[in-house]
Structure 1
Amino acid sequence: MKSGPFRFDPATLPGYGEMIVRGRVDRARARVIRGPVDRGASVVEWVVISALLVGIAAAVGLLLANKLKAKATSINLDTGAI
């Protein structure tokens, strides 16, 4: 056992685990106290990126549908039988 901020030596497996857990708890406590400062900007960025990707996917889908429809209408179905 070691005195100081950690109960175990961080060079050992239990000490490393304690260090990781304490770090996560400290970040969670700080988030509760300060609040999520930059969270709104991150959400807006993801919405913009998602909207762009949806727009690109819709444009590609529309382009493919038009090409397939043009190709399908150009096929001659008259077999000449009877």
Structure 2
Amino acid sequence: MPKSQVRKKKVYTPPTDVRPTASAATRKPSPVWLPILAVSLIAAGIAWLVVYYLSEQAYPVAAWGYWNLAVGFGAMVASLIVLSRWR
């Protein structure tokens, strides 16, 4: 029985407009302090809110009133913004 012919495939090269640029390939990893800062902000925000509720709105800053909630949630939102820069 005769042997079938083997076809050689051409090597695929993507078009130049689809190829990633050299700058995307050389992106550096995130610094070590970035995830540490993000976790610290999350912990500080949660701790701020817990202290606020457990102290019956007397601490951390009694004069701020409900703005203490904005500080706690603001710290957590800031951590999300920091984490968006993590590679």
* Smaller-chain TM-score bracket: 0.3 to 0.5
TM-score by length of 1: 0.32
Larger relative helix fraction: 1
Does 1 or 2 have the higher relative contact order (CA < 8 Å, sep 6+)?
A: 2
